[in-house]
C-alpha cells in the first residue's frame, strides 16, 4: 500500500534563500537547528514566508541544547528554546536526545513528552528508537503533543519493520 510522506530536510541551513531553494525543489518542510539557536529571527521570517513548512530541530543532552552538529553543548534549556517559537508558526519541533541517537536504547519518552506538554507545537521524537515497543510508548503520549518519530538504525538493523510501524498508526 502506498502512503504519502512529507519529506523534511535539515542540516546546515542558515538563510532564507537556501530555505526557499529547497522548498521550491519539492522538500515539504525545512528543519532549522543551529540557525534557530543562533538566529531566532530567521525562524520567524521563514515561518512568515513559508507557513507550515518550517520545523525547529532541538538537539539536547541532559535537557541542554547542543549546536553545530552536536559539537557545541551549551547551557540553554531545550524547553526554553521551544517556548521562544511558541507563537511564530513553527509547524513542528524535532526533539533529539543526542545521548540516545543511534544507540537503540529507546526514545527518551519522559523528556520528549515534557517538551510537548510545555508548548503548543507538535513534537517529533528522535534519537534511540529501538523497536515497536517504543512506538507503543509514543502512542501513549500522543495526547501530550508527540505526533511523530524519526527512525534510522532500528530500520536499517531490522529491529523495526516499516509495515508494522505504519500499521500501528493505522496508515496502511
Q: Model confidence over 31-71: pLDDT tens digits?
A: 999 899 999 999 999 999 999 999 999 999 887 888 765 45
Q: What's the CATH number of domain 8-168, 3.40.640.10, 3.30.390.10, 3.40.50.410, 3.20.20.70?
A: 3.20.20.70
pLDDT mean over 133-141: 89
Characterize the bridge pairing of strands 92-97 and 123-126.
parallel
Task: Name the more confident of 66 and 81.
Answer: 81
pTM confidence score: 0.87
| Residue 21 near residue 55 (C-beta atoms within 8 A) | no
* pLDDT for residue 162: 83
Q: How many other C-beta atoms lie within 10 A of the C-beta of residue 154?
A: 22
Q: Would you list the domain boundaries of the chain?
A: 8-168
Phi, psi of 152 (to 5 degrees): -130, -85
Amino acid at each position: 500500500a502506498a502512503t504519502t510522506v512529507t519529506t523534511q530536510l535539515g542540516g546546515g541551513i542558515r538563510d532564507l534563500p537556501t530555505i526557499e531553494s529547497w522548498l521550491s525543489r519539492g522538500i515539504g518542510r525545512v528543519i532549522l537547528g543551529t540557525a534557530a539557536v543562533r538566529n531566532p529571527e530567521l525562524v520567524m521570517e521563514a515561518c512568515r514566508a513559508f507557513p507550515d513548512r518550517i520545523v525547529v530541530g532541538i538537539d539536547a543532552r541532559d535537557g541542554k541544547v547542543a549546536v553545530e552538529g552536536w559539537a557545541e553543548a551549551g547551557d540553554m534549556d531545550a524547553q526554553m528554546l521551544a517556548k521562544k517559537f511558541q507563537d511564530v508558526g513553527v509547524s513542528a519541533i524535532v526533539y533529539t536526545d543526542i545521548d540516545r541517537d543511534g544507540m537503540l536504547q529507546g526514545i527518551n519518552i519522559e523528556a520528549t513528552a515534557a517538551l510537548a506538554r510545555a508548548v503548543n507545537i507538535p513534537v517529533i521524537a528522535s534519537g534511540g528508537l529501538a523497536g515497536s515497543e517504543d512506538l507503543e510508548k509514543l502512542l501513549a503520549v500522543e495526547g501530550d503533543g508527540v505526533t511523530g518519530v524519526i527512525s534510522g538504525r532500528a530500520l536499517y538493523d531490522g529491529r523495526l519493520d516499516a509495515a508494522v510501524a505504519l500499521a500501528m498508526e493505522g496508515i496502511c
